[in-house]
Structures are given as structure tokens and as C-alpha cells.
Chain A
């Protein structure tokens, strides 16, 4: 993980009792680990964990566990994707095909699983996918790489940035019902907001 938090002693959950019940219940549940996936195989989950960790450049197990369980849940039963580009397969198929292609490429080029690959090589493959340059074409020609990268990024980002540990790291004071924010001039803080301890 690169970069350090400006707010090392801030824990957003210290304030959870000031939040409404519904929000409390939703946010705190993100710290509970789940032990069984409904859509992903163990293998797929393992590959995904490496990918997601690289996408957000963070390997904190708690946040990543939530990311994987969010992706699993979404792919298993989702009310819909909002939108899908014409010609792109449904998310569950897209991700499954994509993970398979990554695993196959890794086996093809380095004879080991993607999850065991050196970080640099994993990163390079992700970079190639993001630029629609992943090889070999025999493996990749049926996988829409841009759509795959975007879907992985979106699912990862929306869950990662919803984890209370990440909120604490970035100094996001978050939920504020019923009390609201009162001191809102530039430079003002409400007493319970994160205070800068490290200048980056």
C-alpha cells in the first residue's frame, strides 16, 4: 500500500452511536466476514482479491473481504446493472469469462496461476487489459477488455469506498443523521470530524 493516512487516530466507527439505526446496521455489517460465496468459486475469489487489491492499491484484508463479498453478491443476484453496452455480456458472464482469461493467460505465459504471479506481472496484465492490449488473442478475442476493466473497477471502487476503514483512512466523517454538519465555513470542523495529524 502506498501513501499514508493524514488521520491515523481517526476511527469513523467511534461515532456510530450518533448515527440513525439503519445506517449503523448497514455500515457495521461491512466488517463481518462471510465464509461462503454464492457465485464465485474459491479460485475466482482468490484471483479477484489480487486484482481488487491492485486496483485500489491497498491490501487491507477487511476492506478487501468486503469488496469480494460485494462482488459475489452482485453477480449472484443483482437488480440490474443500470446499463450495459451493446454487445457486452451480462456482468456475471463478463467477470467469469474475464477471470478465466486472466488465469489462462497467466498459465500460458508463466505457467502459474494469476493469484501466484509476481505483483509486477499481475499489474502489467491489468494495465494491458485497461488498454485493450491483453495477449494472446486466442484467449482474449472473445472478452471485451475495456468493459471488463471498467466493471471490475466500478464494483471494486463502490464497495471499497463504502468500507468504514477506508472512511477512517481518508478522514471522511460520513453519516450525519440526525445531527448534521454545523460548522461548515472553510477550515471549520465539527468536533467529531477527523483532524489532520500528518501533512502528506
Chain B
């Protein structure tokens, strides 16, 4: 393997080139730091490696087996984790929302859940920058939250048939709806063309209209001097006797390597970040790194993401257009009239045949197979769908631990345990009724309600108190000052909307903090 810094200590080694890792790589290298980014998966060329095909593009997901447990065991892989340069952004749906004050201060505002150590105001300037950096498209006026537009780029137009159905249904019920803010171009930007509505965002965008860190941040990082090494699975964080991080070990094509660094940043997402910290346990840190609080791996969250499919007399054709183009956040915040706290976002959500059929087969009251399955498939073009992004409350019992079984690198597999709580279930019930009523308002007959989850967060949560959190709000671990965690795992709560704008804005904030520390020479580094 050709390497730039094989025997050198770089300023920063970043584990994982996903949403957060991509942003960090760009920011740190543009600020003059020497940076190596390692990603377990490949570096893909959208033109050659992507295809308009669901089955073959399952490979964009983290397919390696995780052991799942709990009363609501999660579907992993393509459903919630990416693998390869770009991470989850390569196949994400690109709905690009900001969190709201309640997402950070839920406990203070609603008296339940947890507070983050930062508020909306702390993150606001970074949201603005993230959105501008990737030319988020969205409406002139967005009716919810603390930022009401205008977005850097005009909203998408035209939409998809399913989005029009959804917006019409909302109108009839007096529910406000809007074209979704999307990390998808509505006009040319930095040499990339606007979206052509082909609908395969979850299979990788071939024309480069959808943002991913693979095509936006990583090339800029490389231009600024960063070294990006794909197909390199990091297996351990190397520690000095002084209790500081020294670098990482990784495996490429079956062979072990080392990369020394002044600072280690882990951006490997909600399952692999805790797994790596736990797998890096040593004599000095027998319970895993940065784990004096015992919180590494704990309190992981997802979004409830149940789908409601209704059949219409006329065709909808769920395959046409960007999967999510319309949304409502009218149910986002706590409403004392409901029997649960917090809330949810609803999206009109397209589906190609595999996703549709998989969903139908595991619908409530199922499994659906045989004749009923076949009939649903033949009626595919007559189905419309609405999808939930529901807040899930943090719960210590939902966690990532190490399983006994080993993977191809000889490392214990991750075990992911998840069960919904009572509030979560009530929220889902409420959302299913709302989704059904929107579809019914447009003449749809609800046929399938599919339990599902999306996104992940938590497992290395941030906080001011080292006794109950893993990192501070900049992702710096409380226990090991030159070990950072920066990805969705540092979330304290899941929020009631899509997370990636927040992941990337947090990464911008962390990058700024690190650069500041470097300038002031405040960075502690290991002496061996």
C-alpha cells in the first residue's frame, strides 16, 4: 500500500470518512493540519460503481453482521449504516433539517428526557455554514423551527406524484406541509448538475446532484493535502503509557498497519465508534477507552420510522422522483393534549420495488406472502406512502456491547440491543393515525402499516459531567484529552427530525475548536 505518512506522526488521524469524518478532514486539512483519514470501505466512483438498482447497491450499507437483541431488534446494514468513503451520506435520502430548541433542551422545556450541553443558538452559525457549503435547496419560507429560510438554493420543482398526493392530503386536513429542505441541488453548483428526479438517492446519486462527503468534502480535503485511505479497517486505538492516544492500528487487505498521530478522532458512527473504544481496552483502560463513566455504547437511539402504504384508485407510481420531496413538522413539539411527549416529522416517501415489497412482507398482521403479496406487488403503481421520523427517548438499556462471536478481523462483533419505551410506542400509534388520515384524505385506502426504524444516534454522548457522559460538546473525550469522538454517537437525544445537518454542523464546530487548540499549542500529545 502506498502511504504518505507511513513512518510519520500526523497531526490528526480520522477514523471513518462519513458525514462527520468528511467535514473534519476538509476543515482540518484546509487549516494546514496533516491529516490521514481511514475508512473501512471502498472509495467509489459514482459513474462506474453506482447503479440504478436496489439489490446491487445494498453494498453501500455496512453489511458485516451485527448481533441484534431486545424487544425491537434493529434492522442494520443499508437501513441505517453506510460503509465506504462518504459513509451514510452516499446512500442517505438527503432530507436536511435543523434541530429545534426542544431537541437540545428537552428536559428543561418538557421536564423529560435529557439536555444537551449546548443549545440551538450554539449550533446556529454552523447550521448556516453547512447549508451554504453544500447549497441546500429549500423553500423561501419554511414554516417550522427557528430558521424559516430562505435556503441557499430554491426549492425543488417539480416534485413527485407521491409528494403532490401528500401535500394535497395535508391541505385538506389543515396540516401545514412544505417542500423539504434537501442536500440535493435545484440548480448547478460547483460544477455539479441539478437533480433529474431519477429516484435512486438510496442507491447513490450517479449525476452527483445529491451531496455526499464522498463527492464534496473528501475531494477538497485531498486537494488540501489530506491522505484518504479506503479499505482500511481500524482495529484499535494505540495508547501511550501516559494515558494519551498515539495513533491507530488498521488492517488493509489482511495486513496490519499503524498510523501515528498527535490526535485521534473517531467518526465511525453509532455502532462502530463504541465498538472500537471497547475493543481498544488495555491494562490502563480495562473497560475500554474514554469509558470511566461506563457510558460508552449506552443510550443509543434510532428514529421510529413506520411506514403507511395506502392504495389509490389512480396511479401514484412511487418510483418517480427523489424519494422525499415534501414534509410536515406540524407534530414536532410536545402537545399537552397528547398522551406522550415530544413529537415527529412526516415525509412523503417514494419506494422502489424491493423496498416496497420488503415493507409489505413485514407489515403489521403479517407476514404477508403468497397471493396477498403478489396482489400488492401487481398494485405497486397504485400505492402511496407516508413515512415517520419519530423521536425515540434515550434509554440506558439500549446499547452497543461486544458479542462473543468474532468477525473477519478477529474482533468481537457488535451486539446492538434495542427496545422501544412506552412514550415511543404511543408516539408511533399517534403518527400512524396521522399518516393514515393524510392518505385517506386523498382517497387512499390504508393497506399496510410497516414497523421500521431509521437513523441512529448516541452511544458516546456529550455532556459537561464526566461521570455521565463520554465527551464534551466538542467531542473531546473527558478521559483522554487527545482522543475525540465526532459523529452521530455524541448525540444526547435523537431529535424529532433527520439528523445529518446536526452531525455535520457539530463536526464544523469540533474542527474549529481543534484548529484553535492547535494554534494556541494547547494540544496535549503522547510522549510514548
Contact = CB atoms under 8 A, between A and B. Distances in A.
Interface of A: 1-6, 19-20, 22-23, 26-27, 54-58, 70, 78-86, 90, 123, 126, 130, 149-150, 153-154, 157-162, 166-167, 169-182, 184-188, 193-194, 196, 200
A171 to B, nearest CB: 5
B203 to A, nearest CB: 10
A5 B378 contact: yes
B51 interface: yes
List the 10 closest pairs (A to B, CB-CB), nearest first.
Answer: A82-B77, A180-B196, A175-B52, A57-B374, A80-B64, A162-B55, A83-B76, A161-B353, A176-B198, A80-B63
B379 A81 contact: no
Contacts of B67: 83-86
A74 to B, nearest CB: 10
Contacts of B357: 157, 160-161
A194 to B, nearest CB: 8
Given A86-B415, A126-B369, A176-B200, 11 more contacts: A1-B374, A3-B378, A22-B51, A55-B370, A55-B373, A70-B55, A83-B75, A86-B68, A86-B69, A162-B55, A172-B353
B350 to A, nearest CB: 10
B161 interface: yes
Contact of B380 (A170, A188, A196): A170
Interface stretch (B275-283, B315-323, B387-395): B315-323
A177 B198 contact: yes
B314 A187 contact: yes
A85 B413 CA distance: 13
A186 B354 contact: no
B485 to A, nearest CB: 23
Contacts of B361: 153-154, 157
Nearest to B75: A83
Interface of B: 47-56, 58-59, 61-69, 73-79, 158-161, 164-165, 195-200, 206-207, 314-317, 319-321, 352-354, 356-358, 361-362, 367, 369-371, 373-375, 377-381, 403, 415-416
A29 B78 CA distance: 23
A149 B373 CA distance: 15
A23 B369 contact: no
Contacts of A196: 315
Contacts of A6: 378, 381
A166 B52 contact: no
Contact of A173 (B55, B319, B373, B416): B319
Given A5-B378, A6-B378, A186-B161, A54 B52 contact: no
Contacts, number: 202
Contacts of A157: 354, 357-358, 361
Contacts of B381: 6, 170-172, 194
Contacts of A159: 55
7 contacts: A26-B56, A56-B373, A158-B55, A174-B319, A176-B198, A179-B196, A196-B315
B367 A150 contact: yes
A123 B373 CA distance: 14
A27 B54 CA distance: 11
For A23, A78, A184, the residue with the greatest tally of chain B CB atoms inside 10 Å of its CB is A184
A184 B77 contact: no
A187 B373 CA distance: 25
A84 B378 contact: no
Contacts of A5: 378
A58 B52 CA distance: 25
B321 A161 contact: no
Contacts of B61: 82
A172 B352 contact: yes
Contacts of A1: 374
B54 A162 contact: yes
Contacts of B49: 22
Contacts of A166: 353, 377
A82 B320 CA distance: 28
Given A169-B378, A170-B377, A180-B197, A83 B371 contact: no
A175 to B, nearest CB: 3
Contacts of A169: 377-378
Given A79-B63, A86-B68, A57 B53 contact: no
B196 A181 contact: yes
A82 B198 CA distance: 27
A91 to B, nearest CB: 9
Contacts of B50: 22
A149 B67 CA distance: 18
Contacts of B164: 185-186
Contacts of A175: 51-53, 198, 200
A80 B207 CA distance: 29
A108 to B, nearest CB: 24
B417 to A, nearest CB: 9
Contact of B369 (A80, A84, A130, A186): A130
B443 to A, nearest CB: 11
A25 to B, nearest CB: 8
A200 B375 CA distance: 10
Contacts of B320: 181, 184
Contacts of B77: 80-83
Nearest to A195: B315
B286 to A, nearest CB: 25
A178 B357 CA distance: 26
A180 B52 contact: no
A4 B78 CA distance: 32
Contacts of B375: 2-3
Given A158-B354, A181-B320, A187-B315, A84 B68 contact: yes
A86 B397 CA distance: 16
B316 A186 contact: yes
A4 B61 CA distance: 35
Contact of B321 (A90, A179, A181): A181
A20 B161 contact: no
Given A85-B73, A170-B377, A176-B52, A185 B158 contact: yes
Contacts of B47: 20
B378 A200 contact: yes
